[in-house]
Amino acid sequence: MIFRSGIGYDVHQLVSGRSLILGGVRIESEKGLSGHSDADVLTHAIADALLGAAALGDIGFHFPDTDPAWKDVNSLKLLTRVSELLADAGFSIANVDATVVLELPRLRPYIEEMRTKLAQCLHVNPSDISVKATTSEKMGFVGTGEGAAALATCSIYSTEANG
């Protein structure tokens, strides 16, 4: 078996008038993330980690913000497509570990639903997906409530020699 790992990172600005979507879950919040799609930083970071592990480029390459087809799209659709790209390249997902950095609202009540939705898109068990949340202790753009960030790592594997 051939194992690979990947790292993903995404950041978006918090603005009024948008829904806050993280891991495909609508979070109760006065502000949402601004972006071309639904701006789901968690899903985007996971997608980039997976694409990077398979050396398949990044989310901007596959789903450019210049393409109107991706305007306001649910990022779970993007993640499902990333899963298909990995499978087409001969890879399977071993695990994903992700962290959302957001001052407010608290995400603990939403974590299990996020894990379930992400696992469905990636065709893995929820036990293969870890989602954590933290704050930046009121420092920087996250700490002042200007935005949110997410980081993700993953392991993928292939039993094919060309994987």
Domain that holds residue 33: 2-158
Q: What average pLDDT does range 35-54 have in this prediction?
A: 97
Is the confidence at residue 163, as pLDDT, over 80? Answer: no
DSSP 113-132: HHHHHHHHHHTS-GGGEEEE
The mean pLDDT value for 47-73 works out to 93
Whether 99 is in a domain gets the answer yes
Instruction: Quote the number of domains for the chain.
Output: 1
Per the domain annotation, does 163 fall within a domain? no
Query: Does any domain span residue 68?
Result: yes
| Structure tokens belonging to residue 117 | 């939705």
Residue 90 in domain: yes
Per-residue pLDDT band for 154 (boundaries 50, 70, 90) equals very high
pLDDT digits (tens, 9 = 90+) for 100-150: 999 999 999 999 999 999 999 999 999 999 999 999 999 999 999 999 999
Q: What is the pLDDT of residue 160?
A: 77
Say if 115 falls within a structural domain.
yes
Residue given tokens 């870890």 in the structure block: 130
The answer to whether residues 98 and 132 touch, using CB atoms and an 8 Å cutoff, is yes
Of residues 66 and 48, more confidently modeled: 48
Beta-carbon contacts of residue 127 (< 8 Å; ≥ 6 apart): none
**162 has a pLDDT exceeding 60:** no
> What's this model's pTM, rounded to 2 decimal places?
0.95
User: Residue 83's pLDDT is what?
Assistant: 98
- For residue 69, what pLDDT is reported? 87
| Higher pLDDT pick, 68 / 56 | 56
